[in-house]
A and B are shown apart, each in its own frame.
Chain A
């Protein structure tokens, strides 16, 4: 079969192979969870085929067989400190994150807000300070856009000097993607009027710590949104119900949840989170400040640690790529630790500042392999190799716990080693 010729080392196939080969070839694929050959027993009706099923619920939840598809929680008993819930990328497909699995970081729990009582105030260097109720905002023209949100600390375990053995959920689970709908912030600022002296706005939440971040006015006027809906329904409490600031492509913490106040000012407030928490230390002892952007990044979700390859043969390598600078223009995949690369197919439509699913067919010969992905964005940025980013940003002096944040803003390459037994582990290559 001509289509099945490898285009890069260790059995990577042309990204169009399955498209051209059609159904027969697709059927030849074995999934990561398939056990041995199919049973030879004759087919018969199963119990669920012989009687009506369960009642349709008012609000649907996944099948009872999918109970393991959940976020992992860093602080499940709600001790007085930050709580993290991470997205199980290895158990999901496509590009939208279901609302119940969208990552959440709450510095003091999820605020439980009565939408009737919630208020948004815009004041400071404006011509007319204004207060908006949710009812009022709901009458404005709405905009929708698909965009990812990523914590500045996502992927931080890769700053460890030794690869930490953990799932893609533990390593990269603080990024998710949804379709957000709400009111363009620029529309509201048009009504308040903007004093020419204003250069920043301070955004603040209605949560217990009144979490606050300073945002350059230019971003607020560009593509910022007061988001009210997430994948069609109202925001989840953990994602800021009833409204959050959405800054497409920018550091998650700046997308202030439970938003209640925007103050236009001349200079940044130097809040706790911008002057301390999200300012990563550099090897020379200085620190980056105002990192803002979530830079071009990708990682392979299938296969990844925890998923087994049960037998040699065909698999689809797939993963997620995204950039705070715009659209993903290209993803390359390697199965030999970066010696040779095959171009991945990108699931259409490829949207700006959104998750892009990439796929490459792979014929695993049963030998050891090292899988990597590397992404490019339309602004010409290339995802760095781990060696490249570590050269600039350094690595942690101590091997951290997997839930720790030895630094922030890791966007380098991730490498998965496949053993001849089909097990997947995290390596540096």
Chain B
């Protein structure tokens, strides 16, 4: 290639690059409606909790059908973790962590059941069912009343016993 041609080629290259922002820009714009089905993380303030509602009684029958095989009758534990009870954390560093003795936020329960349970068919529960199961487990642990319904307003207000039990390990990294 002659010097002249090379210079010409380079300047076309430069012009093409000039039209674009700094990077390759190969991402496709996407809007919130398109992302909605994946946008499932629920932070402690409850932002993003879906419409719907469920009571402990409603949750009890769903639990018996879809959860008890692995987590035991009445949440007592079986092949997988108990979802009721828990020893004091001062019993040892290997104390089994439970919803009642450890989990700092009630929203995590909704978030985790919705995204990951039942283990073999995750994300098949309706939002009402997830609220009901969350209410059932919170009531089993006496963290809410037996007739209290869980929904986007009530769930984030449930204060978990171990809310203040944590120390950030490296505060400068936060």
- Interface residues of chain A, those whose CB is within 8 Å of chain B, are 79-81, 108, 121-123, 128-133, 136-137, 139-141, 159, 187-188, 190-192, 202, 204, 208-212, 216, 218-219, 260-261, 263, 265, 267-272, 275-277, 279-293, 393-398, 400, 404, 406-407
Contact = CB atoms under 8 A, between A and B. Distances in A.
A279 B25 contact: no
A276 B103 contact: yes
Most A-side CB within 10 Å, residue of B21, B45, B165: B165
A142 to B, nearest CB: 12
Nearest to A400: B94
A270 B105 contact: yes
Given A131-B27, A275-B105, A407-B94, 4 more contacts: A191-B23, A276-B97, A394-B92, A394-B93
Nearest to A199: B174
Contacts of A279: 97, 102, 166
B108 A272 contact: yes
Given A81-B79, A275-B103, A290-B168, A136 B26 contact: yes
Given A81-B80, A287-B89, A407-B94, A272 B165 contact: no
A289 B166 contact: yes
Contacts of B103: 275-276
Contacts of A209: 115-116, 119, 122
B85 interface: no
Contact of B116 (A159, A188, A210, A396): A210
Given A121-B38, A130-B30, A292-B173, A398 B94 contact: yes
B28 to A, nearest CB: 5
A121 B25 CA distance: 14
Interface string B35-74: 1001111111100000000000000000000000010000
Nearest to B47: A265
B16 interface: no
Chain B interface size, under 10 / 10 to 19 / 20 to 34 / 35 or more:
35 or more
Contact of A121 (B35, B104, B111, B170): B35
A269 B93 contact: no
B167 interface: yes
B contact face: mostly helix, strand, loop, or mixed: loop
Given A80-B80, A271-B41, A108 B93 contact: no
Interface string B107-131: 1100110011001101100000000
Contacts of A81: 79-80
Nearest to B120: A80
Interface in B17-37: 21-32, 35
B43 A293 contact: no
12 contacts: A123-B39, A129-B29, A132-B27, A208-B116, A208-B119, A208-B122, A267-B44, A271-B41, A276-B102, A281-B93, A288-B168, A290-B174
Contact of B95 (A79, A133, A187, A281): A281
B30 A121 contact: yes
B169 interface: yes
A190 B111 contact: no
Contacts of A270: 43-44, 104-105, 107-108
Contacts of B111: 269, 271-272
A269 B166 contact: no
Contacts of A260: 38
B3 interface: no
A117 B167 CA distance: 41
Contact of B30 (A79, A108, A131): A131
A113 to B, nearest CB: 15
A268 B43 contact: yes
B91 interface: yes
Nearest to A265: B43
